[in-house]
Structure 1
């Protein structure tokens, strides 16, 4: 029976959150969309994760997507709702939180968005990334979803007029007036701050409606009552193929580091990032042949999309919105070729769009979570045509500079 529903706005986020429960032996099912039937949910599932793919949508479309699922959850009698948000607060934060609140109008949603272990903290309702205001960090310059504010109530109010309050780590919740607040933003500078707040909620039997990132999921998986079993382990493979669709500067530094430490790196041109049947053309087929040869000869390969992303004809000097989906499709086609090649490779994908592009190309929605091989890097199994493909997904803004090298050390034979 499903005890907890997690609603994520992108596929990487769905996996990042779901793995916090799955790797602790809690039966967790992930769906890449809401188009499933009840009998597709295994009967032993206690944590259900649904990806809305709503981060790039308009605030209205994102609201409707989340509202539909949260209304369904209420009808199903699911007791706990977790709205997963990006730790850098990208996406439709205000409209999606309001959607959950509108489904449960008599309840307060506790918003604990900090991720202290990677130095993303909340102080007096303001988000800081590695000591910088969120808006001044690399996420303030995100090519598709720049975050231009740091005070969380202001971020929410860009899309919603819902009542928002802030509570510091030292303050206790005023249970006499809490119902006057729809969203309570909870400060957190340490993991202990998160645990302290959750213990306070548990003592008052109010661990029901909350929002946050993977840090909150990890702490909830430790304290909530679930059935737990032994977990599966991953296997070592001959190769590691990295499909990088992220344009995050953090990822860029990680790629540069990996290239300097033995990875063979290939950069896609703008033409190759806008497929439009490119890979069926003679030029495209030649490129694929060359890529497969590189993969056969090297056990660590990177294909990325950092060069030629900006269209010089764009006056605002921003990437075309359609390009992000073209990039995902291109990586999907190339990863399929790698999957079907003779070499046994683990495929690592950065960015939720990238992994979703791969699943769309191969026509698969079945995914099994195994473990978090590095912080923010989830290792899963995708089943397709009777074959199990080992896949790692990593959010663009996560990980140390040497993260790809660390993963290679663990995954390669």
Structure 2
């Protein structure tokens, strides 16, 4: 019986949150399709995670995507709905919180956005990244989703007029409701702040509508009575292939470190190779994929990246009439063509994909809508099994703006035989 529904706006978010339950042996299913049938959900499933892919949507479309799946869960008696948000508050934060709130207008959505273990905290309603205001951090200059504000009620107000209240650490939840508050932004400066607030909500029977990132999911495991099975672990493979679809500066530094310090072989996709998926149907494209496959046969650690200067990308887009909004999806599809060929060869390789769109692009290409989370190999880096045409492929997903400089090397040390 499903006890908890989590709604994520991108695939990486769905995975890094869902794995908090799966890694403890709790039966968890993750779907990338929004219209679920009762038959899709196994009887033993207790945590259901749905990726709405709504982060790049227009706000009206994002509202419908989130509200539809939340209302579906309410009709089926799911008691707790958790809106997973990005720890850097990218995406349709305001309208998606409203979509969840509108499933029960008598309840408040308790929003705990902080992730203290990676330096992302909320204090007096303001969000900080490693001591900097969110707007002054690397996420303020994100190439696709720059966050230009740090005070969370202002971020919500950009999309929704829903009443919001900031709940400081020492303030009780009873004050929410007296002033028609429908979203309570809770301060999170340490993990204990999350624990105290969850215990308070549980004691007062208000553990119903929640929002936050993977840090909240990790603590929620201790609050809900689940059934536990044997935990699963990742498998070692002959090699590690990194499909780097992220354009984030943090990921660029990770790739540079992996090549210089950890011995990764590296290939860089040209503009045509990353922005024209049809290229891979040409003789040149097929030859290039053949080169990558041979590289996987001779090297233990490979990374294929998509970095270019913004001016270069802009010039290419203008010449070929490519909208800026399409860039991330074209990059994902191009990576998908390469990875599909590697997987078709049944090579003993683990695929690491950076950026939520990258793994999603691959799954769309092969027609897969469900993934089984296994464990975290590093904090926030998820190992999953993808079943396709009877073949089980181990994949790892990592958000583009996540992790330390040496993270790819550490993953390779654990994965490669």
TM-score interval for Structure 1 and Structure 2 normalised by the shorter chain:
over 0.9
> Aligned-pair distance for 1:65?
0.7
Aligned residue in 2 for 1:79: 79
Q: Distance in 2 between matches of 1:345 and 1:249?
A: 26
Asked if the contact 1:311–1:319 (Cα under 8 Å) also holds between the matched residues in 2, the reply is: no
Deviations 1:80-117 (A, max 9, x none): 00000000000000010001111111110000000000
Aligned residue in 2 for 1:282: 283
**Which sections of structure 2, spanning at least 5 residues, go unmatched?**
none
Aligned residue in 1 for 2:273: 272
Aligned residue in 1 for 2:388: 384
> Aligned-pair distance for 1:205?
1.4
Q: Distance in 1 between matches of 2:235 and 2:328?
A: 31
Q: Distance in 1 between matches of 2:175 and 2:26?
A: 31
Asked if the contact 2:122–2:189 (Cα under 8 Å) also holds between the matched residues in 1, the reply is: yes
Pairing 1:7-406 to 2, within 5 Å after superposition: 7-175=7-175, 177-178=177-178, 180-260=180-260, 261-307=262-308, 310-312=313-315, 320-341=324-345, 343-406=347-410
191-200 or 156-165, which deviates more: 191-200
Asked if the contact 2:167–2:185 (Cα under 8 Å) also holds between the matched residues in 1, the reply is: yes
Q: Distance in 2 between matches of 1:274 and 1:308?
A: 14
Q: Specify the SS of the correspondent of 2:201.
A: helix
Q: Distance in 1 between matches of 2:148 and 2:381?
A: 27
* Structure 1 residues 182 and 259, CA gap change in structure 2 (3 angstroms): same
* Structure 1 residues 3 and 126, CA gap change in structure 2 (3 angstroms): same
> Aligned-pair distance for 1:182?
0.2
Moved segments of 4+, more than 3 Å: 175-179
Deviations 1:259-297 (A, max 9, x none): 112001111111001234211111101111111111111
36-45 or 326-335, which deviates more: 36-45
Q: How many residues align?
A: 411
Q: Distance in 2 between matches of 1:408 and 1:322?
A: 31
Asked if the contact 2:108–2:177 (Cα under 8 Å) also holds between the matched residues in 1, the reply is: no
Asked if the contact 2:165–2:176 (Cα under 8 Å) also holds between the matched residues in 1, the reply is: no
304-313 or 83-92, which deviates more: 304-313
Asked if the contact 1:108–1:178 (Cα under 8 Å) also holds between the matched residues in 2, the reply is: no
* Structure 1 residues 127 and 289, CA gap change in structure 2 (3 angstroms): same
185-194 or 170-179, which deviates more: 170-179
Q: CA RMSD in A?
A: 1.5
- TM-score, L = length of structure 2: 0.96
Q: Specify the SS of the correspondent of 1:311.
A: helix
* Structure 1 residues 313 and 339, CA gap change in structure 2 (3 angstroms): closer
Q: Specify the SS of the correspondent of 2:314.
A: coil
- TM-score, L = length of structure 1: 0.97
> Aligned-pair distance for 1:312?
2.4
